[in-house]
Each structure stands twice: as structure tokens, then as C-alpha cells.
């Protein structure tokens, strides 16, 4: 079964980002040139302007009930650079081709309710079955916000710092979040179909659904690169990946679930306290890759066969009546070709015992009987684990 190729997915996401930004820039210039190609009536106060260093509302921290409300605005092709949005509620507003650069959505936070950040079509012929998908961009912004019942399809969030931000009942399909930091971010009943979260550090990443957040095969969440490499960090990353894996499982995407589950268990192993727990987790990893890696049983079996072959030639091996015990200096080879012949016999013996096929010309000495019994038991166990792992993947 194919695994997620993270390197390929990241490259595809970056290509998609570049294409989307080029598309946005081209449409932006068309609208600036001819304002009649859009169907909405732009707000005269906030559209087609560049705001730099402007403070919207005030810089105090206020309770949600005291937020200033902006209702029913159509904000078109404006650039906000270094602006501060504090204690504001945007309700039923439309943002078309807007760019937010180095902006701060802080104070008590900013609420976007029933807002749209996408223009699907412009008045341009031919228009049949064509979607222009002009989206908005947030670049290097600090975001403490709530997106409630919003359409943020195709939105670009780049180099952003999210803190205590919530996405609820919103369409986030094909949204790209890249090179960002997300702390205590909550998703509730959103559509993440085709969404990409790339090179973003996630802390306390949660899904608090009453219904179900939707993901699909094109939804991609990149690997998180550890920063501190401490037990607490590994434990946090383990919980994040467990949350992601469970969400794919809930959407019946078993292969995606398996990949994130595998990463989750690797971080969990690094966060374990006791040596016993770490050893058991490593055995689970080595024997079957936590049930997600079909090659692990094969690789482990080959290592065991080779290990026991070495033990036999060291402890006691009988080749057609000739006893060989390297540890006692008995039967040591006089040439390299003789060593190759002896090792070939011990390797053949190890393979036969591991697979339960028996012995041919070589056999263990009485001193090595215990080794052969242990190897035979391990062979039976590994065969069962290998079949189980393959079956688990094939059933999916």
C-alpha cells in the first residue's frame, strides 16, 4: 500500500501556492483596471486603497460584548500593511482580493462571522464552467480570531502566528497555511477538503466537532519538525498526530489514518518514561512498524536469521560430523574460502530453523540446542506478525 510521500506533497503544495498567488495578482490587476467586472458594490471607505500602520478601533483589550461591529461591507482589492485590528466583529462582510501584510489581529480578538474571502467569478467572457477563484492573503500576521460560518476557500495564510484561534462551521476547502505557528487552534465542523498545512508548527491542535469536520484524500498536513526535542514536546506532538489520525479515520480514510498513526506512535515512543515501556514500543516498531509498515517484519526477520547464524558458528555448529565453535577456537577456518563455506552452512541452518523447514547438512551442537529452540519460536511469531501486517493493509 502506498504511503504519503511528504516531500512530494510539500512540493505540490508550494507549486499550488505559487500558481494561486500568480492567479490572484493577475485578477487583482484586472479589477483595478476595470471595476465593473465584479458584481458587488465596493465600500467607498475601505476598497481600492492601501492602509499602512492604521489602527482599526482601539488597542485596548476588551470583552467580546464590547467589540465594534462592521456589517455588510464589501472590501475590494485593498492592501493592509502593518495595521492593527483590535476588538472588532466583521459580520456578513465580503473581502475580495485583499492582502493583509504584517497585521495584528489582537486585543480581545477579531470575529469574522458569515464573511466571505473569495470571489469565484468575474464578468469575463467566455464564462461557462469557469471559476476564477480570487482569494485573499494573510502574510506575516498575528491572528487571534474566530472564523464563524465563513467561506475562506482558497485563502492563503503564510508566515502567520495563530494563537487561541477558532474555525467553526466554515468552508476551508483548498486553504493553504504555510510556514506558520499555530497554538491552541480549534476546528469545529469545518470543511478541510483539499486544505494544506505545510511547514507549520502545531501546538494543542484540536477538533471539537458536534457534527464532523470533513477531510479528503487531498487534505495534507505536513510533518512537524521538533524544536526543543524534549519529552514534553514529543508528548505534545504525539497528541497532535493522534488527533489528526483520528480525524482521517472518522472520514473513512484508512491509509491516511495509518500514516499519521505511525508518526504519532513514533513520537509517543520518544515521550515514554520507563525503560520497559520504551523497549516494548521499540519491539512493536521493529516487528511491524506499529502495524503500518509491511517491510518491517521482513527486515526484522532477515536480521534475526543473520544474528542466529553468527551465534551458531560462535557457540556450536556441526557440519557433517565436524564441530565448529569459534569461541573455543575449534574448527577455525584456514582460508577465506573455507570461512565462506562455513558461514554458508550456518546461514542455511538458521534459515531452515527460522522458517521451520528443518536442517540439511549442518546442525547445532547440544550446546546450541537452546538457540535453535528460541529461533524456531521467534520464526513462528514473526511469520504471524508479517501475515497480520500485510492482511491489515490489504483489507484497507
Tell me the C-alpha distance between 206 and 193, whole Å. Answer: 17
Regarding predicted confidence, which is higher, 60 or 254?
254
Tell me the C-alpha distance between 64 and 87, whole Å. Answer: 7
The answer to whether the CB of 31 falls within 8 A of the CB of 122 is yes
Q: Which CATH architecture has domain 6-222?
A: 3 Solenoid (2.160)
- Tell me the three state secondary structure of residue 255: helix
pLDDT band at 309 (very low <50, low <70, confident <90, very high): very high
Q: Give residue-wise pLDDT tens across range 332-365.
A: 888 999 999 989 989 999 999 998 877 777 888 8
What is the pLDDT, as a whole number, of residue 1? 42
The answer to whether the CB of 305 falls within 8 A of the CB of 352 is no
For the record, the C-alpha cell of 237 comes out as 506532538
What is the pLDDT, as a whole number, of residue 368? 86
Mean local confidence (pLDDT), 222-234: 93
Q: Give residue-wise pLDDT tens across range 12-29.
A: 999 999 999 999 999 999
Percent of the chain with pLDDT over 70: 97
- Least confident range from 79-88, 162-171, 305-314, 382-391: namely 382-391
For the record, the C-alpha cell of 358 comes out as 528443518
Please provide the distance, in angstroms rounded to a whole number, between the alpha carbons at the two ends of the chain: 9
The answer to whether the CB of 262 falls within 8 A of the CB of 347 is no
Tell me the C-alpha distance between 338 and 308, whole Å. Answer: 20
Q: Give residue-wise pLDDT tens across range 90-140.
A: 999 999 999 999 999 988 899 999 999 999 888 766 665 568 889 999 999
Tell me the C-alpha distance between 341 and 190, whole Å. Answer: 65
Tell me the C-alpha distance between 33 and 27, whole Å. Answer: 10
Tell me the C-alpha distance between 159 and 181, whole Å. Answer: 8
Residue 2 has pLDDT above 80, yes or no: no
Tell me the C-alpha distance between 65 and 89, whole Å. Answer: 10
Domain locations along the chain: 6-222, 295-395
Mean local confidence (pLDDT), 262-284: 93
Only one residue has cell 542466529, namely 308
Burial class (CB in 10 A: 0-12, 13-18, 19+), 79: middle
Residue 168 has pLDDT above 90, yes or no: yes
What is the pLDDT, as a whole number, of residue 162? 96
Average pLDDT over all residues of the chain: 91
The answer to whether the CB of 87 falls within 8 A of the CB of 60 is yes
The answer to whether the CB of 159 falls within 8 A of the CB of 180 is yes
What is the pLDDT, as a whole number, of residue 61? 80
Tell me the C-alpha distance between 101 and 96, whole Å. Answer: 15
Residue 170 has pLDDT above 90, yes or no: yes
pLDDT band at 270 (very low <50, low <70, confident <90, very high): very high
Burial class (CB in 10 A: 0-12, 13-18, 19+), 66: exposed
- Least confident range from 72-76, 191-195, 331-335: namely 331-335
**Nearest to residue 159, comparing CAs of 143, 175, 136, 135?**
143
What is the pLDDT, as a whole number, of residue 125? 63
Residue 324 has pLDDT above 80, yes or no: yes
Only one residue has cell 563455506, namely 341
**Nearest to residue 164, comparing CAs of 187, 150, 144, 148?**
144
For the record, the C-alpha cell of 232 comes out as 514534553
* CA gyration radius, the chain: 30
Q: Give residue-wise pLDDT tens across range 52-65.
A: 999 998 877 878 88
Q: Residues near 140 by Cβ (< 8 Å), separated by ≥ 6?
A: 101, 102, 158, 159, 160
The answer to whether the CB of 113 falls within 8 A of the CB of 92 is yes
For the record, the C-alpha cell of 36 comes out as 465593473
Regarding predicted confidence, which is higher, 94 or 367?
94
Tell me the C-alpha distance between 257 and 242, whole Å. Answer: 9
| Cα Dmax for the chain | 100
For the record, the C-alpha cell of 290 comes out as 506499529
Mean local confidence (pLDDT), 182-197: 96
Residue 395 has pLDDT above 80, yes or no: no
Mean local confidence (pLDDT), 19-46: 92
Residue 323 has pLDDT above 80, yes or no: yes
Amino acid at each position: 500500500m502506498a504511503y504519503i510521500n511528504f516531500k512530494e506533497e510539500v512540493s505540490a503544495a508550494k507549486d499550488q501556492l505559487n500558481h494561486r498567488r500568480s492567479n490572484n495578482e493577475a485578477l487583482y490587476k484586472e479589477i483595478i483596471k476595470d471595476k465593473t467586472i465584479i458584481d458587488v458594490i465596493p465600500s467607498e471607505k475601505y476598497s481600492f486603497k492601501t492602509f499602512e500602520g492604521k489602527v482599526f478601533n482601539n488597542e485596548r483589550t476588551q470583552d467580546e460584548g464590547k467589540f465594534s461591529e462592521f456589517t455588510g461591507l464589501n472590501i475590494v482589492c485593498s492592501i493592509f500593511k502593518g495595521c492593527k485590528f483590535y476588538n472588532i466583529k466583521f459580520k456578513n462582510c465580503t473581502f475580495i482580493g485583499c492582502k493583509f501584510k504584517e497585521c495584528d489581529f489582537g486585543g480581545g480578538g477579531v470575529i469574522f462571522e458569515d464573511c466571505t474571502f473569495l470571489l469565484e467569478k468575474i464578468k469575463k467572457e467566455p464564462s461557462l464552467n469557469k471559476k476564477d477563484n480570487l482569494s485573499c492573503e494573510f502574510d506575516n500576521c498575528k491572528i487571534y480570531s474566530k472564523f464563524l460560518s465563513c467561506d475562506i476557500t482558497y485563502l492563503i495564510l503564510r508566515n502567520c502566528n495563530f494563537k487561541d484561534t477558532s474555525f467553526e462551521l466554515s468552508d476551508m476547502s483548498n486553504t493553504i497555511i504555510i510556514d506558520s505557528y499555530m497554538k491552541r487552534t480549534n476546528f469545529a465542523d469545518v470543511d478541510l477538503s483539499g486544505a494544506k498545512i505545510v511547514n507549520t508548527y502545531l501546538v494543542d491542535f484540536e477538533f471539537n466537532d458536534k457534527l464532523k469536520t470533513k477531510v479528503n484524500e487531498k487534505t495534507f498536513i505536513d510533518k512537524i519538525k521538533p524544536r526543543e526535542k524534549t519529552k514534553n514536546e514529543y508528548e505534545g506532538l504525539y497528541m497532535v498526530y493522534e488527533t489528526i489520525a483520528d480525524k482521517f479515520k472518522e472520514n473513512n480514510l484508512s491509509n491516511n489514518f495509518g500514516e499519521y498513526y505511525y508518526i504519532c506512535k513514533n513520537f509517543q515512543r520518544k515521550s515514554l518514561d520507563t525503560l520497559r515501556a520504551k523497549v516494548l514500543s521499540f519491539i512493536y516498531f521493529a516487528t511491524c512498524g506499529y502495524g503500518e509498515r509491511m517491510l518491517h517484519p521482513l527486515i526484522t526477520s532477515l536480521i534475526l536469521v543473520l544474528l542466529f547464524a553468527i551465534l551458531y558458528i560462535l557457540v556450536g555448529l556441526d557440519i557433517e560430523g565436524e564441530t565448529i565453535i569459534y569461541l573455543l577456537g575449534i574448527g577455525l577456518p584456514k582460508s577465506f574460502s573455507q570461512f565462506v563455506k562455513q558461514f554458508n552452512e550456518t546461514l542455511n541452518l538458521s534459515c531452515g530453523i527460522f522458517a521451520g523447514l528443518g536442517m540439511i547438512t549442518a546442525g547445532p551442537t547440544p550446546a546450541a540446542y537452546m538457540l535453535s529452540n528460541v529461533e524456531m519460536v521467534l520464526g513462528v511469531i514473526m511469520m504471524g506478525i508479517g501475515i497480520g501486517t500485510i492482511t491489515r493493509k490489504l483489507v484497507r
